Amino acid sequence: MTGMTPTRVLIADDQALVRGGFRLILETQDDIEVVGEAVDGVQAVELAGRLRPDVVLMDVRMPRLDGIQATRRLVCQAAAQAAETPIRVLILTTFDHDEYVYEAMRAGASGFLLKTVRPGQLTAAIRDIAAGDALLAPDITRRLIEQFVRRPPPGSSIPPALGALTSREVDVLRLIARGLSNAEIAADLVVGETTVRTHVTRILAKLGARDRVQAVVAAYESGLVQPGSA
């Protein structure tokens, strides 16, 4: 990894053993650097503003300020500062409850993993999040959307909220909502992967979405994707 800037990570968890375990895993990676540890959401927001990590590993349940509220503050803080390289949040929790996933998505988190994740999956997730990719398993997406999103009645036309999108961009957004990668979308639509990346960039810009997770929320909440169709 010589010559490459490592991905800077801040660990936010109220349990010292958990923070230490994550640090041990991450410090074995040449391309990942742990720049700090926070014991609660308030400290996570303060350290993130000062240390500017690329990724924050954020626990959900913490004293003073929970991980979801801390994530919301970080996203708002980055927007106010018009940061060129936004801090991305990867939610880690022992609670496999859909409402946490949905609230984390709404708050601006870029990914969600259970703490039972294997070390290799954790480091891969950090790399994906740092690269700007969203991390949310398609089955989790379907489950939480069906249960928690308030959708308008289904219709055959493109929802008004998505009116700025072209028909091809709508097709791409539907596939994003199904959890497909750029390569899978390219294969499905029989186009080049570069073309898909261009469509994704334009979709995010038109929707004012910071990443694919936010685009998925928009697709479901607008009624573009219905339960069972993903």
The secondary structure of 75-123 as a DSSP string is HHHHHHHT-SS--EEEEEES---HHHHHHHHHHT-SEEEETT--HHHHH
pLDDT tens per residue, range 168-200 = 999 999 888 877 888 889 999 999 999 999 999
Domains in the chain and their CATH numbers? 7-135 (3.40.50.2300), 153-221 (1.10.10.10)
Q: In what order do the strands lie in the sheet with 111-114?
A: 32-38, 7-12, 55-59, 88-93, 111-114
Paired tokens of 96? 């496999």
Q: Answer whether 52's CB lies under 8 Å from 27's CB.
A: no
CB atoms within 10 A of CB 95: 13
pLDDT tens per residue, range 72-122 = 898 887 767 666 667 889 988 876 666 677 777 778 888 888 888 889 889
Q: Is 37 helix (H, G, I), strand (E, B) or coil?
A: strand
Q: What is the dihedral of CA 64, 69, 70, 74, to 10 degrees?
A: -150
